[in-house]
Amino acid sequence: MAKPDSLGQFEQLLLTAILTLREDAYGVSIHAKAGALAKPKEVSLGAVYVTLDRLEDKGLVSSRLSDPTPERGGRAKRCYQLEALGERALQESAATAKRIWDVTTEIWGKEWAKEQWAKPPRKRWGKEIA
């Protein structure tokens, strides 16, 4: 069976968003969900498109066009769903993240872990903002 590559952090976010949204995973909803997951970092819609294309090329997700809807000006949505490889890659990433969290919390203590949630830095992806 094929072994998936390790995922980047942004790819993990998008796969998690698709997993959560299930049938309703398309550009805008994935962007909103990924933004919520990435808080306080901001997520750009353009970056979401690029990464979704890359995930599709890797065979981690697949897409199809839905029926047109009036709230979108009669245009169709491109809906995404996780493929088996995508699920496996996300499971591996989640397991790794959990192990990292456990070890860092054990070494730096629970106070440090609480601080991480209490004072979030205001950042875009890879770039500080005022």
Half-sphere exposure at residue 108, Cβ-oriented, CA atoms within 13 angstroms: 12
Q: What stretches of 1-130 adopt beta strand conformation (E)?
A: 61-65, 78-82, 123-124, 127-128
Reference 69, options 18, 29, 125, 119; nearest CA is 29
Applying CB under 8 A, what is the total number of residues that bind another protein?
33
Helix (H, G, I), strand (E, B) or coil at 6: coil
Should residue 3 be labelled a site residue for another protein when binding is judged by CB under 8 A?
A: yes
Should residue 64 be labelled a site residue for another protein when binding is judged by CB under 8 A?
A: no
CA angle, corner 51, sides to 50 and 56, nearest 5? Answer: 100
| CB closer to another protein, 83 vs 113 | 83
Query: Which stretch, 35-43, 64-72, 95-103, 113-121, contacts another protein (CB under 8 A)?
Result: 64-72
| CB closer to another protein, 58 vs 92 | 58
Should residue 35 be labelled a site residue for another protein when binding is judged by CB under 8 A?
A: no
| CB closer to another protein, 53 vs 102 | 53
**What is the DSSP-derived secondary structure letter of residue 24?**
G
- Tokens describing residue 130: 């005022």
In whole angstroms, how close is the CB of 33 to another protein at the nearest point?
A: 14
Which residues sit at the interface with another protein, rule CB under 8 A? 2-5, 26-28, 44-47, 49-50, 53-54, 56-60, 62, 65, 68-69, 71-73, 75-78, 83, 85
